[in-house]
A and B are shown apart, each in its own frame.
Chain A
Amino acid sequence: MIITGKVFKYGDDVSTDLIFPGRYTYLPLEEADMAQYALSGLDPDFAAADAEGGIIAGGFNWGCGSAREQAVKSLKAKGIRAVIAKGIARIYYRNCINEGLLPIVCPEAAEAIENGETVTIDTEKSVITAAGREFSFPEFPPFVMGIIESGGLIESIKAELK
């Protein structure tokens, strides 16, 4: 899998409350409708931005807090395809895999990447190309990569149940 996209860069400890506030969490929203609330607790400009094919660069403990999956779904609905962070909270990390959004923990890359630059992620080589350099990250176990490549857990379950 190769992903090339524009980076939206944020800081440390961005909680799921900031990515997708609780007041929208228990409403029956369609996935497409979640996009308008993505990062609404943190970045008022994100809703209007063209994020199609984009990549989030985060600091330490990205996605900490509530298990709410909309904190991943809303970014995906906005067009985001990967998160590169210095650290990703556990439940958020699993939610990314389960939504088919690539979660990469790579502190060096997350530090070096600049907001707005275009970055390439190559999962076969486990390399990020950014800021004129290459950064390697740990390979995903094949079954995890399989879930991401099939578009997420539910898509892979559908195939299993057929």
Chain B
Amino acid sequence: MGKTFAEKALGRAAGREVRAGDIVTVYPDFCLSHENAASVSRTFKSTGAQKVYDPDRIVIVFDHTVPAPTGGYAENQKVIREFVKEQGIRHFYDMNCHGGICHQILCQEGFAAPGLIIVGSDSHTCTHGALGAFATGLGRSEVASIWATGKLWLRVPETIKINVTGSFKPGVGAKDLILKIIGDIGGAGADYLSVEYHGPGIEAMSLGERMTICNMGVEMGSKNSVCRPDEKVFKHLEGCAKKEWEAIWADEDAEYIRELNYDLGELVPALAMPGRVDNWEPVTEQTGKPIDQAFIGTCTNGRLEDLREAARILKGKRVKVRTIVQPASVKVYMDALKEGIIETMMEAGCVMNHPGCGPCVGVCGGIIADGEVCISTANRNFTGRMGGKGSEIILASPATVAASAIAGAVADPREAIK
């Protein structure tokens, strides 16, 4: 019997043969945190430890509260800067020209690489599976514990295999696939499980599209999501890999607890209606539903290909609702500037935010009021997440959000690109 990706990656990290259900102790290659590093550093110190286990395995990226919108957030950041200096942490991305959303930075800058174990005090750490890493989110205590001891226990998960074939029709993209999968499996349908993406449909995708898919793994409860590392990954890592890596993939005869098949050609533009990420509906069911705000960005859909797709629809048009655009990193922002994408978006009436997470998590840069509706390219639509208690979020692709911004209501991107 062959092995799954999770069995191989965790076995490699544990230095022994393992199977689903086994408990392993691993020393993660990279341990990520963002502004919650302030809280983690206090917890770390409460353990009595003086120095972190290995400062080179710690990555800290400011993204949730940038630029600091209040004195409290500024104080919080100050605590982290001091800790970074005190502990000699090299991999620190402050709010400057090198920064961005933590998951974008780890993938963009060569931390995320095949076979590595990457953990972080952010639930969307699963994004890094797009480059073939075993990556999963943790809470703050656990990250403090890794800072102190270097190690972590994990149960080797069982795996769901998802086979993807075909190619997208115009106006349909990676976000529409993952929203459909979550709608089918359910918000807890992959609880505690590993999800592997197989097939030519995935192979044809850019790394950015794969990141969109792996990013939302946690929205169906999964421990990690992963795509097969291929030439696209290897080429990207040339010259930027932060650590030696090894390409690992599942055996042909690995054992799965469930298998699902998707043909990209059969997908339609999708929405996740407010309240639950698995609340899938085709865009045609809600066309014309009024919105108050549109938001294009986040670790799910703030990359160059996302901005490009949105700009293609926005070009020469004018948005009817306030529309916020927030690139996933400064590099993405610069690349989009050079390509003329930002100019197109601003001419259409969009407002640019500095790269970060602010509106998605309801912290800064585009909070919505009670009773308002935002259509967003983010990954979560829990009631009140973006601000006011009764505020609502509709999740969609960059193309659908752009088309809706122009219409001032939910709109079908296929109509906009005709």
Binding site for B on A (CB under 8 A): 13, 15, 17-18, 21-23, 25-28, 41, 60-61, 64-69, 72, 87, 89-91, 94-95, 98-99, 141, 143, 152-154, 157-158, 160-162
Contact = CB atoms under 8 A, between A and B. Distances in A.
Contacts of B43: 154
- Interface size classification for chain B: 35 or more
Interface stretch (B87-95, B137-145, B170-178, B300-308): B137-145
Interface in B263-292: 275-276
Interface in B189-241: 191-192, 218-219, 221-223
Closest A-B pairs by Cβ, 6 of them? A95-B139, A61-B188, A69-B139, A67-B123, A17-B382, A15-B382
A150 to B, nearest CB: 13
Nearest to A96: B139
B363 A87 contact: no
At the interface, is chain B mostly helix, strand, loop or mixed? loop
B76 A91 contact: no
A21 B383 CA distance: 10
Interface string B379-399: 010111101010000000000
Contacts, number: 132
Given A66-B123, A69-B140, A17 B65 contact: no
Interface stretch (B31-39, B127-135, B343-351, B405-413): B31-39
Contact of A28 (B39, B123, B137, B140): B39
A86 to B, nearest CB: 9
A23 B76 CA distance: 14
18 contacts: A13-B276, A15-B382, A17-B380, A17-B382, A18-B384, A22-B362, A23-B362, A25-B363, A26-B73, A27-B76, A28-B72, A28-B75, A65-B123, A94-B142, A95-B139, A98-B142, A143-B153, A153-B145
B23 to A, nearest CB: 7
A137 to B, nearest CB: 16
B79 A28 contact: yes
A88 to B, nearest CB: 8
A62 B36 CA distance: 22
Contacts of B49: 161
B384 to A, nearest CB: 5
A67 B142 CA distance: 11
A67 B137 contact: yes
B48 A162 contact: yes
Chain B CB within 10 A, most for which of A25, A69, A158: A69
Given A28-B72, A28-B76, A99 B141 contact: yes
